[in-house]
Chain A
Amino acid sequence: MFIKSLRSLFAMLVIPLVLSMGLGLSASAMAADEQSSQQQAGKTSDADLWRAVKSGESGYTVAKGVETGVLINVVGNEGEIVRNQYLTPVMGITVVGVFAAFLFFYLVNGPSKLSKGFSGKMVLRWTKADLWIHWVMATSCLALIFTGLNIMLGKHVLQPYIGEGLWASLIYGSKTIHDWVGPIFIVSWLLSVVKWMPMQTFKMYDLKWFLVVGGYVNFGPFKGKHPDSGFANAGEKLWFWSLTLFGLFIAASGLMLVLPGLDLPREASMAALLIHSISAVIIIAFTIVHIWMATVLSEGGMECMVSGYCDENWAIQHHNVWYDEMKDSNSIVYKN
């Protein structure tokens, strides 16, 4: 019965994802299959036996280990198909696509300049602790992304072109780094969520921010628009909440994968693997966007995470509500 409930758990976790991705696996079909296998239990014909085998029914065995009584692990193969046929290409497309889209946007649109130029007066935006959290998380995240990408895509894009020995060390290194950096990421992620959450609540003006695409578009009707935004703009808030949510998914599923001592059923492990990959796709996409935005698309943006201070004009242009609040409360801290 434990196994059955796990099957349902898997169905609950994966099927919505699968369905949302347009796959034709129907939850009802699975449930029906399960019911019929229950009805068949105890009957004696060959067909019933094979139905039980194929539905992954558990039997008796003297072998020790995880689910050794199950002859056919039904979801394992399905999960493998989801991963290989959908998630792997999606990941590839995401990485290349998002990067290319922003490159194209940058080439067409150019960066978002400070309309009043640099003021030279630097306003405190991030504390030292914030910087630490950010950069630890950024570094670990990038390490995870690169190693993770190698684990997911390496055998398609790298392995055919390099020697066997190099590949073996590369993939082994990726796996090892991915395992050990993961906990660092989780800690920094947790700190950032706790520390930054108060600044990330959505406000009404965030809606307008979206309507004008944050004011980054330098042509058409959006040109020159500078929507209201608080300490974090709506895009950043979206990024924050995505990272919070999918960070949770990726951290939990990652722990499931990196702790073999848990002896999880294979359904759970496969579910974790798929959730991990899906979360990774989303986080990687945002990360690319984030890096583009912070480095080249937003003039003066990078400085915030280098020194913790931003140019006053940058603050006024991109985070006017925050700047105004600080000014009103007289709490602006300038760099000496």
Chain B
Amino acid sequence: MAVMKFLCDTKRCIECNGCVTACKNENASAIGWGIQRRRVVTLHDGEPGEASISVACMHCTDAPCMAVCPADCFYRTEDGIVLHNKETCIGCGYCFYACPFGAPQFPKKSAFGSRGKMDKCTFCAGGPEPDFSEAERKLYGANRIAEGKLPMCAELCATKALLAGDAGVVSDIYRERTAARGAPGTIWGYTPTTG
């Protein structure tokens, strides 16, 4: 069984934000002004050591959002993609507090009560509604996975820094690259152990 993952190669990421607008483009039906499912963060901006990393939902194997959600609106697909059901989401914001990557976002800037239906990266895999249905498109955007394609952000990455796909394949690509560069095979500073 495939386990889908993203991986951003910081040696190649140039903060061009192509992944950000690729996501907006592909999921335009579901996300408007104010929601960016993906963002690029640059550490040590403007000084030696500057490095950029594209980040969105990492589709964690042990997802804190899923664990903390009181509505239990998250589910994992057979490809290991963490999706959620906007019909069940109550807009409490707990996933936002818990998520290590700041992936969950809320469309409403309400002053009181619910934050509205949470939105996050779907790995371009839509949601629980039938594939390609109008409801799916409106709530979650594209379903490229069902079309046999990978997420738009990675497919359009200018420098092939952002990789998406089966964890094994992705880490093989990355390992090959780092081996070629003579650097130790680490991903995000961790040695990859899980898929």
**Taking beta carbons and an 8 Å cutoff, which residues of A are in contact with B?**
41-44, 46-54, 57, 59-74, 76-77, 79-80, 83-84, 151-152, 154-155, 159, 164, 167-168, 171-172, 174-176, 179-180, 257-261, 266, 269-270, 273
Over the window 17-59 of chain B, the binary record of Cβ atoms lying under 8 Å from chain A Cβ atoms (1 yes, 0 no) is 1001000000000000010100111111111110101010000
**Inter-chain contacts of A257 with B (CB < 8 A):** 92-93
Most buried by A among B34, B40, B100, B183: B100
Most buried by A among B101, B109, B110, B189: B189
15 more A-B residue pairs beyond the given contacts A71-B55, A80-B64, A171-B88, with a C-beta to C-beta distance below 8 A: A42-B47, A49-B43, A53-B43, A61-B42, A62-B40, A65-B102, A68-B39, A71-B102, A73-B100, A77-B100, A151-B70, A175-B114, A176-B113, A260-B115, A266-B97
**Inter-chain contacts of A259 with B (CB < 8 A):** 111-112
- Alpha-carbon gap, A259 to B110, bound state (A): 8
**In this assembly, does B106 line the interface, its C-beta being within 8 Å of a C-beta of chain A?**
yes
Whether B48 lies near A53 (C-beta < 8 A) is no
**Inter-chain contacts of B109 with A (CB < 8 A):** 260-261
**Inter-chain contacts of A168 with B (CB < 8 A):** 71, 87-88
- Alpha-carbon gap, A77 to B109, bound state (A): 24
**In this assembly, does B156 line the interface, its C-beta being within 8 Å of a C-beta of chain A?**
no
Given A59-B45, A259-B112; A84-B68 close (CB under 8 Å) = yes
Shortest beta-carbon distance from A66 to chain B in Å: 8
> B100 contacts which of A57, A76, A83, A151 (Cβ < 8 Å)?
A76
Q: List 15 A-B contacts (CB under 8 A).
A: A49-B51, A49-B189, A50-B190, A52-B44, A60-B46, A61-B40, A76-B64, A83-B68, A167-B72, A171-B71, A172-B90, A175-B70, A260-B109, A260-B110, A269-B96
> B189 contacts which of A50, A66, A77 (Cβ < 8 Å)?
A50
Whether B112 lies near A258 (C-beta < 8 A) is yes
- Alpha-carbon gap, A257 to B97, bound state (A): 10
Given A155-B72, A260-B109; A69-B34 close (CB under 8 Å) = no
**In this assembly, does B99 line the interface, its C-beta being within 8 Å of a C-beta of chain A?**
yes
Question: For residue A63, which residue of chain B has the nearest CB?
Answer: B39
Whether A70 lies near B102 (C-beta < 8 A) is yes
- Alpha-carbon gap, A159 to B72, bound state (A): 8
> B98 contacts which of A46, A80, A258 (Cβ < 8 Å)?
A80
Given A159-B72, A175-B114, A266-B97; A46-B39 close (CB under 8 Å) = no
Most buried by B among A43, A171, A260: A260
Shortest beta-carbon distance from B105 to chain A in Å: 7
Shortest beta-carbon distance from B140 to chain A in Å: 17
Whether A167 lies near B113 (C-beta < 8 A) is no
**In this assembly, does B179 line the interface, its C-beta being within 8 Å of a C-beta of chain A?**
no
Whether A176 lies near B114 (C-beta < 8 A) is yes
- Alpha-carbon gap, A76 to B99, bound state (A): 6
Whether B113 lies near A180 (C-beta < 8 A) is yes
Whether B43 lies near A71 (C-beta < 8 A) is yes
- Alpha-carbon gap, A69 to B115, bound state (A): 21
